[in-house]
Amino acid sequence: MNSFLLRLCLLLSLGAYGLAQADEALIRKNLQARLPDMGKIDEVRKSELPGLFEVRVDGVDIYYTDAQANYLIDGILIDTRSKRNLTEERVDKLTAIKFEALPLKDAFVVVRGKGERKLAVFEDPNCGYCKRFERDLQKVDNVTVYMFLLPVLGADSMEKSKAIWCAKDRGAAWLDWMLREQAASAAPASCDAGAVVRNAELGRKHKITGTPTLIFSNSTRVPGAIDNKRVEQLLAQAAKP
């Protein structure tokens, strides 16, 4: 009897596994056939809501569908019991950036004081909030800032970013523009500004859609312009073991 029950449980579990696999294949097939412009489907998995599947597209875009992909939901899933935004939590996990994994070769460095504390910042040279943030950041000492030029505000932002990246002293050119409105000379054709293009791609991958965005050494991510006191608090937290 025990042997029979064991075999029955095994068959049921394999059947459930096969059904899950079939659901995923059917969802992919139907979505790709019916919505060819949807983008690359990276993953299909069960959501927290029974009967609803999560579809991850182009890296971090989240949609929901039924087992036959007859309907597609573009919205957020909220657990009303815990008041958790499950979609937001999922996107945050997918777009998280570990500080140690940042491509620091694509940033230029500004060191203040001993530079013992570390901070990465993504900024657009045409961003007014970034200019306000830069004025406050001048009051923060003992920090090494890795500045990632992120042109998200249009073609002019790309040109300004390339000009700053190609300047002889990138840090000085950056501060001249952000603090004093003194523009850097246009980038020469011979300058390799590929870092700026890679930064734009990095921003898309991790959904950095606004500037400034700060990444502290403990990988805490903070969007928006914060004042120097808040920067100091977060630097202190990041330094804790």
Residue 121's pLDDT band (cuts 50, 70, 90): very high
Count of structural domains within the chain:
2
Whole-angstrom distance, CA of residue 208 vs CA of residue 16: 39
pTM greater than the 0.75 cutoff: no
User: Are residue 103 and residue 222 in the same domain, yes or no?
Assistant: yes
CATH number at residue 157: 3.40.30.10
- Closest of 30, 64, 60 to residue 42, by C-alpha: 60
Name the more confident of 149 and 96: 149
Whole-angstrom distance, CA of residue 17 vs CA of residue 25: 12
Looking at 65, 95, 125, the residue that finishes a domain is 95
User: Are residue 91 and residue 103 in the same domain, yes or no?
Assistant: no
Residue 21's pLDDT band (cuts 50, 70, 90): low
User: Are residue 115 and residue 221 in the same domain, yes or no?
Assistant: yes
Residues in the chain: 241
pLDDT tens figures, 79-118: 999 999 999 889 888 877 899 999 999 999 999 999 999 9
Contact 73, 45 (CB under 8 A): no
Residue 20's pLDDT band (cuts 50, 70, 90): low
Instruction: Note down the domain range covering 57.
Output: 25-95
